[in-house]
Amino acid sequence: MSENKKESVLAGFKAFLMRGNVVDLAVAVVIGAAFTNIVNSVVKGLISPIIGAVGTQSLDGYKSCLKSPCGVGPNGQPTGVEILWGSVLNATLTFVITAAVVYFLMVLPMSKYLARQEARRKAREGAQELVEITELEVLKEIRDELVAQRANGVGSGRSGSHDGF
């Protein structure tokens, strides 16, 4: 590989890393990984025991035997075919709780914040347009007054009244 091509590849890689999307994605992955521990603790410490009150304390204990005999053989190998639907339910609950917490604690407040910022920006733009229109109208009135004064022969000198000016 030539030296020039090596530099362009490195420059392209650096440009890729410096784009905002990559940095945002990296931050999201780190926060998501940390947040997963919290959600898993809530599911294992609160949700699973509440649901497991009708049976075992862990949802992972719920299973069905599809092909008998289910269990562990004398050699330590599992026998039969088990459907571990408790584990699937536990993973589904973890996902739903994670999605709900992310939505209600992150997405919803951020969208409300962005909507308020947009409304403020539009209000500032509207006020600025109103000021510009008002200034334009005042300038038009001044122009019309000056044209009217010239037509009447008033204002050709510096002395005398200025009719309101």
**3-state secondary structure at position 14:** helix
| Mean of the per-residue pLDDT values of the chain | 78
Contact assessment for residue 98 and residue 39, using Cβ atoms and an 8 Å cutoff:
yes
H helices within the chain, ranges in order? 3-18, 20-42, 48-51, 85-102, 108-152
Flag whether 67 is in a domain. yes
Q: What is the SS3 assignment for 27-53?
A: HHHHHHHHHHHHHHHHHHHHHHHHHHH
Structural domain of 92: 7-119
Quote the pLDDT of residue 143: 92
pTM of the predicted protein model: 0.48
Flag whether 164 is in a domain. no
Flag whether 90 is in a domain. yes
Flag whether 158 is in a domain. no
At 107, which CATH number? 1.10.1200.120
Residue 151 or 45, more confident: 151
Number of domains in the chain: 1
**3-state secondary structure at position 164:** coil
Tell me which range, 19-33, 62-76, 106-120, is most confidently predicted by mean pLDDT.
106-120
Q: With bands split at pLDDT 50, 70 and 90, how would you rate the model's confidence at 112?
A: very high
**CA 99 and chain centroid, separation:** 13
pLDDT digits over 52-74, tens only? 677 666 677 778 888 778 777 78
Flag whether 137 is in a domain. no
Flag whether 133 is in a domain. no
**CA 7 and chain centroid, separation:** 35
Flag whether 70 is in a domain. yes
Q: With bands split at pLDDT 50, 70 and 90, how would you rate the model's confidence at 115?
A: very high
Flag whether 141 is in a domain. no
pLDDT digits over 120-138, tens only? 988 888 777 766 677 778 8
Question: What residues pair up with 71 in beta bridges, in sequence order?
Answer: 79
Quote the pLDDT of residue 144: 92
